[in-house]
Chains A and B, each alone.
Chain A
Amino acid sequence: MMHVDFDVAWQVMKWPLAACLVLPPLLVYLGLHVVKREVIFVDLALAQLATLGTCVALILGYSFSDRISFWISLAVTFAGAALFSWSRNSERQHVPQEAIIGITFVVAAAGVILLLSRVAGGKEELEHLLTGDILNVTARDVGQRAAIFVVLAGFFGAFHRHFALISEDAKAAAATGLRVRLWDFLFYAAFAVVVVFFVRVAGVLLTFAYLIVPAVCSVMLARTWKSRLLVGWAIAALSSLVGLYASFAMDFPTGAAIVCACGLALVLVTIGVSFRQGKLV
């Protein structure tokens, strides 16, 4: 433990804490869809595309904080969103969507490496983009994202029935006359916006952890959308608290500590559920 009074700890950790408690719920909701659709790695691919977009901006001479590099990042991610909503509806080609997602991920990751080899300190930059800089998040970062996420949460809330139907059974949804392709694009586009905003403060790894781990845990623990959302949020919050505490107490990089705490949460939930089902006794 570092010998610091609570005041100092609070001053250093309050905005990271706010970010880790306030921002993940929308990701948890999207995670539930992603788990249902069995497109787990879509987030990793979109996050990597967001990073690729940022690197394109860097190579063009803009800095990370320039507004234009945000828009470039968003545009590249939108292109990925369009690809994913299109590929989901091309089942006739016998190409599993997960393959397209995986290929997108590795090509985007390799593209990032290529571009950053031409940027000063590229290797370090690469690590930062992966692990993010949640420790240095500001009040402005949190406030801006919270506002945007509330609007997006309203959007997903208003059309939840459509999205849930498509995620659970796309064929049945099409049979009711729903324009699946359009709704799918809207889903991935909104998803892309969330990922782009989140990746810029939290990095690729933490974004992915928040999206998947709470959702997977809550699928094991709860049944309805609402209860799963609440359970997932609670698990995200608990993992955040443990990760932030460990980061401060043992001086670990903050984002990576939270990702590991998420991993620990998944292990504990899995063991707990197995006990309850009598598999381990």
Chain B
Amino acid sequence: MTTLTHLVLAFAALLPTAGGVEAPPPAKLLNVVATTPDLAALARAIGGAAVDVKALAKPTEDPHFVDAKPSLVVTLNRADMLIEGGAELEMGWLPPLLESARNDRIAAGSPGRVSASTGIRMLEVPTSFDRSKGDVHSMGNPHFLLDPVNVRLVVTQIAQHMAQVDPASAALFRDNLKNFLATLEVKAAAWQKELEPFRGAKIVTYHKDFVYLAERYKLEVAETLEPKPGIEPSPIHLAAVIGTMRAQKVRVILVQPFQNRKTAETVARQTDAVVLDMPQQPGVKPNTATYFDLMDSLVHTLATALQEKK
């Protein structure tokens, strides 16, 4: 049942970008394209009525691997602004699309191009890099938006770039930014409070995609089901994970929609753990269209599970 609801909602979230029946936006709106829905949600919050925002990846798609389709090239071709996660998050799919789209407005270095990772204190930056070992996090961990402090930097940067590209709406962007940061302060305090009782709690994730959340709220990622970021779980590695989880009494496994839930469930059966659906993209779960709603939902889901499994 919940899976069905998720699917329906995921489809509903997709409709506006699916290129179906949508009418072209009024010409004066700034065309903003974000690589992922979470960045798109931030752009919407800052751009408000002055922008039309589209995301290239679906909320249920792995941001490291997005399928190329003509609509993506068209969307990039018409963009006034492109917001990417950066730190090689989109390395596997964005460059060829950009080459096909041939759009100088969003070329690297121009005001129309925002790389969200700029200025972020990256975690897990590898000291040495060996591609043959397989690693989709070669510039550090690019899943940094679940830390409110990082979001502060990202939205500020988005607002600056929007004002540069569309000076006429600069005041609107400044006001929206101010409101966003004020709400963020209140919300961040609430999230901190809700997760405070679980300081030091251990979690297992499928991919290394919750490390910033863990760092902010002092949780510990005991293991990941993937032996290395981007590498499929192998039997030997899963056996080791099960061992660790039993020894350290880890009782929650966090998965996103594009990850293999069955693998997580297999491990959970062996360890009396619970598998939590924790999509980092807005719109997958009901009422999570904005960053604040999404974080509310994630923090609450996690806190509830940690409480029950204590």
Which residues in A have some Cβ–Cβ distance to B below 8 Å? 2-4, 8-9, 11-13, 15, 59-61, 63, 117-124, 133, 135-136, 138, 247-248, 251-254
Contact = CB atoms under 8 A, between A and B. Distances in A.
A127 B89 CA distance: 19
Contact of B74 (A2, A61, A119, A253): A2
Q: Which 8 A-B pairs have the closest CB atoms?
A: A120-B230, A61-B132, A124-B65, A136-B96, A120-B134, A2-B19, A251-B71, A12-B73
A12 B100 contact: yes
Interface string B99-132: 1111000000000000000000000000000111
A248 B232 contact: no
B197 to A, nearest CB: 36
A253 B19 contact: no
A107 to B, nearest CB: 20
B96 A8 contact: no
Contacts of B131: 61, 63
A122 B74 contact: no
Interface string B221-240: 00000001111101000000
B132 A12 contact: no
A136 B232 CA distance: 27
Contact of B99 (A121, A136, A253): A136
Contact of A2 (B71, B100, B230, B234): B71
A121 B230 contact: yes
B27 to A, nearest CB: 12
Given A122-B231, A122-B232, A123-B232, A8 B74 contact: yes
Given A138-B100, A252-B69, 4 more contacts: A3-B23, A63-B131, A117-B232, A254-B69
Nearest to A254: B70
**Secondary structure of the B contact surface, majority rule:** loop
A4 B101 CA distance: 14
18 contacts: A3-B22, A4-B74, A9-B74, A12-B101, A13-B70, A60-B132, A61-B130, A61-B132, A117-B232, A119-B231, A120-B135, A122-B134, A124-B65, A133-B96, A135-B69, A136-B97, A253-B68, A253-B69
Contacts, number: 86
A124 B70 contact: no
Contacts of B73: 12, 135
A127 to B, nearest CB: 8
A121 B136 contact: yes
Contacts of A121: 62, 64-65, 92, 136, 230
A120 B229 CA distance: 7
Contacts of B26: none
Contacts of A8: 74, 77-78
Contacts of A59: 132
B49 interface: no
B107 to A, nearest CB: 16
Contact of A135 (B62, B65, B68, B231): B68
A190 B184 CA distance: 63
Contacts of B22: 3
A119 B65 CA distance: 13
A248 B74 CA distance: 10
Contacts of B134: 118-120, 122
Contacts of A63: 131
Contact of B18 (A11, A135, A138, A251): A251
A96 B89 CA distance: 48
A135 B78 CA distance: 17
A206 B164 CA distance: 44
B25 to A, nearest CB: 10
A252 B134 CA distance: 30
Contact of B70 (A3, A61, A117, A247): A247
A136 B100 contact: yes
Interface string B127-167: 00011101110000000000000000000000000000000
Contacts of A135: 68-70, 73, 100
Contacts of B135: 120
Nearest to B68: A135
Nearest to A123: B232
Contact of B19 (A11, A61, A251): A251
Contacts of A251: 18-19, 69-71
A138 B135 CA distance: 27
Given A120-B230, A123-B232, A253 B132 contact: no
A120 B68 contact: no
Contacts of A124: 62, 64-65, 92
Given A11-B102, A61-B132, A120 B231 contact: yes
Contact of A12 (B74, B228, B234): B74
B215 interface: no
Contacts of B272: none
Contact of A253 (B24, B67, B228, B229): B67
A60 B92 CA distance: 18
